[in-house]
Chains A and B, each alone.
Chain A
Amino acid sequence: MSKNKIDVTHISRLANLPLSEDEKKELGSQLEDTLSYIQELNEIDTKNTDPTSQVTGLENVTRDDKPTDSLTQDEALANAKEVHNGLFKVKAILSNE
């Protein structure tokens, strides 16, 4: 396996995880170990195996367009850190120039 250096900073940002430099080092090498372990799958001959993204064998599991009961507003907001007039409140997201 070609040992591509993993960009831990990039990955941690995508995962929304603030990591210290030490953590980045530690998790980086762990991630590399994980990847090389999974790489072992490449040794299996898959010439006669159809590609698939699932293993249940299920297909077309759908529901009819029938409305069912929802949670109440209070229930929906029960675990919110901050609430304002029935809305979830978070720190501003867009930075407009």
Chain B
Amino acid sequence: MNKYTPVIGLETHVELKTSSKMFCGCAANYFGKQPNSQTCPVCLGLPGALPVPNKKAIDWCIKISLSLNCKINMFSKFDRKNYFYPDLSKGYQISQYDLPFGHNGHITLSNGNRIRIRRVHMEEDTGKLIHDGEISLIDFNRSGVPLVEIVTEPDFHDAKDVKEYLQKLRQAVRYLDVADADMEKGDMRLEPNISLRDKQQETSNILPNYKVEVKNINSFKFVEKAVNYEIKRQTEILDKNEVPPQETRGWDEIQQKTFSQRSKEDAMDYRYFPEPDIPPITFTDTQIAELKSQIPELPDAKRKRFEAEYKLTEYDAEILTREKNLADYFENTVKVGQDYKINPKQIANTIINKKPNIENILPATLVKIIVKAGQTDAMDEKKLQKVVKEVLTQNTKAVEEYLGGKENALMFLLGQAMKKLGKVDASQVKQLLVKMIK
């Protein structure tokens, strides 16, 4: 059907939520702050300023690396990446080149695909540029905020895997409690690079001779759209026996397409060299072991444990472990529930179906609600069945319509049953309706 296989790699930038910036003491949380109110000679790049790395940011970068199954460079350093662009006042960005803190890791997706992580390195964020016609405006509050870049090998072949990888990555940094990874605030930025390989060259494993990078996408939905758009666009070019130009593009959400985004500085030649202002960073095995021990149980492990320990389905366990808060809430409720002989499955169902506000409803309160619901259920079970049976025999037409595929008919039947029953759990009645129709 399709002649080409997409070859996709991802660069993801995650801002850490440290209190201070990467190389100076300015506050790192710039969201909603007055422009240029959180700067100093270091992050403004004034001559003579001396950058000193933030210990916590380095530790957190190591934790991210470890949680992505990376190896750690026990001897590491920072490097200067040189280029002229107004979001960088120094004329270079302090980053890491040949000795990133983490390297050679992987993430495994739910379909078993393993995405290799090439490197995890630490750098500083740049200032924020606002483009306005003939001028650009700069806010340096973001300049110097700790930024971790996670680079994969070109192991993705469709947008779906890209999305799942990103969800997993975001989940991991949130579990580690090192980043908010709030896409809308720009805490996490995505740069897929996309090219297509002729299927006839599949076995050769040679990468295509061009690569299109889509920059700074800030939503999972957009990244999916941008990847799919690029696959379509590049297919059309290749079908004409042409090669798509190697370039950087942006995503235009309004027009639903990518567009060429050429910088006036065409030749990118970063001339990395070791940052002379920052002595090298070394780690001992003990330090790495200590950081490893601080890593909480991560989503995949937690999901598997929930399935085994609480006899939950994979589906339920996945929902409950999406966020650490919810997973903790579930487990606390299970603990309280034991005293009332409520099984974990019931608690899982209640949390997933009723979505209680876990900020307001204490686990003990939720248990009480479940106990109470259970009592009325038992009392009314016979009455419930009787009523549902009545409704079904009295409304055969609606039943037929439902069986014919009309979902609305079920809501009608539910309404009829609820009229007779008064205040009861509608979802329970609905379940019974469906069960008895079949």
A-to-B contact residues, CB < 8 Å: 10, 13-14, 16, 53-54, 56, 58-73, 76-77, 84-97
Contacts and interface: CB of A to CB of B under 8 A. Distances in A.
Contacts of B276: 53-54
A86 B35 CA distance: 6
A54 B280 contact: yes
B308 interface: no
B333 interface: no
Interface string B1-40: 0000000000000000011100011111000001111111
Contact residues of A: prevailing secondary structure: loop
Contacts of A61: 52-53, 278-279
Nearest to B75: A59
Given A14-B82, A90-B86, A76 B34 contact: no
Given A67-B19, A77-B36, A89 B55 contact: no
Nearest to A68: B25
B136 A85 contact: no
Interface string B271-313: 1011010111110000000000000000000000000000000
B77 interface: yes
B274 A94 contact: no
Contacts of B278: 61
B56 interface: yes
B382 interface: no
A76 B140 contact: yes
Contact of B137 (A14, A87, A95): A87
Contact of A63 (B36, B52, B131): B52
Contacts of A95: 262-264
Contact of A93 (B54, B85, B280): B85
Contact of B27 (A13, A70, A72, A89): A70
Given A53-B77, A67-B25, A87-B36, A62 B54 contact: yes
Contacts of A89: 135-138
29 contacts: A10-B267, A58-B279, A59-B280, A59-B282, A61-B52, A62-B52, A63-B53, A64-B55, A65-B20, A66-B20, A67-B19, A68-B20, A68-B40, A69-B25, A70-B26, A70-B37, A70-B40, A76-B140, A84-B135, A85-B35, A85-B137, A86-B37, A87-B36, A88-B86, A90-B86, A92-B133, A92-B134, A94-B136, A96-B260
Nearest to B27: A67
A14 B267 contact: yes
A85 B137 CA distance: 9
Contacts, number: 151
A77 B40 CA distance: 11
Contacts of A53: 77, 273-274, 276, 280
B261 interface: yes
Contact of B39 (A58, A76, A92): A76
Interface residues of B, number: 61
Contacts of B271: 14
B130 A87 contact: yes
Given A61-B52, A97-B262, A86 B36 contact: yes
Contacts of B187: none
User: Which of A14, A54, A88, A92 is most buried by chain B, counting CB atoms within 10 A of its CB?
Assistant: A88
Contacts of B129: 93
A10 B265 CA distance: 11
B45 to A, nearest CB: 12
Interface string B134-172: 111111100000000000000000000000000000000
A16 B91 CA distance: 10
B54 A88 contact: no
Contacts of B27: 67, 70
A30 B274 CA distance: 25
A60 B261 contact: no
A97 B260 contact: yes
B137 A84 contact: yes
